[in-house]
Amino acid sequence: MTFGLLRFSLYTKLKLPIHCRHSFTVNIPCNGIRKPLFNETVRWLSTKNTVPKQTKKLFSESKVLRLYSLAKPEKNRLICAVCFLLVSSAVTMAIPFSFGRIVDIIYKSNVSEAQAKLITICAILLPVFIVGAMCNFGRIYLINTSGYKITKRLRELLFKALLSQETAYFDRHKTGELINRLSSDCLLVSQTVTTNISDGLRSTIMVVSGISFMFFVSPKLALVGLSIVPPVAALAVIYGRFVRKITRSVQDSLAASNQVAEERISNIRTVKAFSQEKKEMGYYGEKMNEVLQLSIKESLMRGLFFAMTGFSGNFIIISVLYSGGLLVSEQAISVGELSSFLLYAAYTGVSIGGLSTFYSDINKGLGASSRIWEIIDRKPSIPISGGLKPLTDPKGDLSFRNVVFNYPNRPDAPILNGLNLEIPSGMVYALVGHSGSGKSTLGHLLLRLYDPQNGEICLDSTNIKMYDPIWLHSHIGVVSQEPILFSGTVRENIAYGREDFTENEIIDAAKEANAYEFIVQKFPEGFNTIVGERGVLLSGGQKQRIAISRALLKNPKILLLDEATSALDAESEKLIQEALQRVLKGRTVLTIAHRLSTIKNADKLAVLFNGKIAELGSYEDLISLENGVFRKLNKNQILTS
């Protein structure tokens, strides 16, 4: 599909699909600005009907191949590790042969002849063993470091996929579950493609070599000893399928328990304030019991499987001892050859056990990887980038046109139902309504954390879906009722929304938000003060003013204030109100407030009722309406001074 030059007005009227994976040029005349300012190349990111080539390819591959494709970037290191593995395995498999020769020398030679031959053999074996040790070191070092790199890469890929998801995704998935995917699942998968494959390859080499030497020494004994292998192999296949299923269940249950721990620890002050420590201990214990029961089930099957394989190995040894003893008595083989054969049989038995473990671990890795692929393959409904990036700052006109919305997790609970609202540039509009009327929802939609099911939200007459989300967010400053700070310094939190800043800009933003004084006077380390997790080391007023500083540093054209002072004391509110009055000038402001003192200075009040704007006007106009919604809200003390 190829697009030519299209006028934007015609494009929107035709309602052509905007999410097309093509580059094309649009010529946009807007707000009287000359066309050349808006000639730009736009790359639309697909969110619905297109699947990247890489994803299609991965879907066509088997789960095992995709799992081991993670090791591709480390192929050179892993090839070297495999070479070291071949050498060290060869050295290991030389031991039984050497042992048999030594036994025969002892039995067949006199003392002086035996001593000379033993010295020669040991002189040959010592440097061979040194080489084997060095190769073993190289193998383990390369395998482990490759595993760490794969873990790092996989976690980064998964974290990137998580942050790329739309907000609704996190409404459905708990934090602890996602953290478990990043931690234990990624580690398990990386071990599967490094350490486990190394151990599996080593076991395979030793099994093949052991069986070959067994047939070389005595084909008859080899057939006797290996007769038990086919039923054990069939048992391993059945066991592997069970392990894959149970591992997935264990990982899911462990994720649920991690969610409980993460949520309770992050809200420890609330737990302690209500003295719910014992209750939470019991609740976490219940979750861990679920993990334990599944683990016990897995352990039962594991125990049965390894008991069977261990018995099979011992049965092989007994059979070989009996048959081998008869062959020695008949002088068909020597004592040394029987000794070598027994060691090869023992090595082969241990290696078959290693292959069983390898098969089990492969299935565990597949179980853990399936959850990771689900996240990585998922295409977010709202992309994090892609769209128009106008060369000039927006004017700031906002329009909500026939907006219909309900949260994805609550499809039967509509929030907005055909809402219409026009906010001219530079005006201060206050949203008023009872709790749950959708005031904060409008802010979420403006930030495009969610998309409405119907209608459109426009900035300067252009649907915000058309804009690059990064560009859109760079022109919107947000101050919420409970600002979330990160556990870094004051400076890091103020500068969070911007990368290119100077120290003077940080200071100016703090001064404008009435934050500079308490930062330099009350904090010994000033802007380098650690605020703690979620800003717990600061008061509510201090957090709020730092959040305002963070919003101001972006110098946004649009300011969204979500009940920014409703939870503060009078003194803190006064300081913040002073700061807000200074920063509102020249900006389009949408403020959500319960307090009368907050909304009296707004140019207009928009009253939300039944998912629509029921009333719109100044405070004096709305309070004078006899049966007005706003007057009833005020009368019922939903609004307070």
Q: With a cut of 80, say whether residue 312 has pLDDT above it.
A: no
The string of pLDDT tens digits covering residues 370-427 is: 888 888 888 988 888 888 999 888 999 999 999 999 988 888 888 999 999 999 998 9
- The H-or-E segment that residue 17 falls in is none
Q: Beta 588-592 vs 428-432: how paired, if at all?
A: parallel
Neighbours of 544 (CB within 10 A): 29
Domains of the chain with bracketed CATH:
398-639 (3.40.50.300)
Rounded to an integer, what distance in angstroms lies between the CA atom of residue 517 and that of residue 511?
Answer: 7
Neighbours of 141 (CB within 10 A): 14
Give 308: exposed, middle or buried? Use CB within 10 Å, 0-12, 13-18, 19+. Answer: middle
What amino acid is encoded at 451 in this protein? Answer: D
Instruction: Report the pLDDT averaged over residues 314-341.
Output: 80
Q: With a cut of 70, say whether residue 491 has pLDDT above it.
A: yes
The per-residue pLDDT of the chain, averaged, comes to 78
Q: Which of 4-18, 180-194, 397-411, 453-467 has the least mean pLDDT?
A: 4-18
- The H-or-E segment that residue 411 falls in is none
CB 479 within 8 A of CB 561: yes
Q: Where are the beta strands (DSSP E) in 224-305?
A: none
The string over 64-88, giving b where at least 16 C-beta atoms fall within 10 Å of a residue's C-beta and e elsewhere, is eebbbebbeebeebbebbbebbebb
CA dihedral 464, 469, 471, 477 (to 10 degrees): 90
The string of pLDDT tens digits covering residues 90-126 is: 888 888 888 787 787 777 777 777 778 788 888 888 8
Strand order in the sheet with 40-43: 6-7, 23-27, 40-43
Look at residue 80 in the predicted model and tell me its pLDDT.
92
Nearest in space to 6 (alpha carbons), one of 32, 46, 38, 37: 38
Rounded to an integer, what distance in angstroms lies between the CA atom of residue 60 and that of residue 78?
Answer: 25
CB 590 within 8 A of CB 421: no
What is the pTM (predicted TM-score) of this model? 0.69
Q: How far apart are the first and last CA of the chain?
A: 59
CB 611 within 8 A of CB 416: yes
Contacts of 500 (CB under 8 A, 6+ apart): none
Contacts of 618 (CB under 8 A, 6+ apart): 603, 604, 605
The string of pLDDT tens digits covering residues 192-241 is: 888 888 888 888 888 888 888 888 888 888 887 777 666 766 666 676 66
Contacts of 299 (CB under 8 A, 6+ apart): none
CB 258 within 8 A of CB 182: no
Looking at residue 2, the DSSP 8-state letter turns out to be: -
Look at residue 48 in the predicted model and tell me its pLDDT.
36
Q: Which of 143-157, 255-269, 627-641 has the least mean pLDDT?
A: 627-641
Look at residue 455 in the predicted model and tell me its pLDDT.
93
Look at residue 37 in the predicted model and tell me its pLDDT.
36
The better pLDDT of the pair 350, 604 is held by 604
Helix ranges, 330-413 (H) = 335-377
Contacts of 515 (CB under 8 A, 6+ apart): 542, 545, 546, 548, 549, 579
> Which percentage of the chain shows pLDDT scores above 90?
11
What is the CB-side half-sphere exposure of residue 409 using CA atoms within 13 A? Answer: 8
Q: Which of 187-201, 240-254, 308-322, 563-577 has the least mean pLDDT?
A: 563-577
The better pLDDT of the pair 62, 347 is held by 347
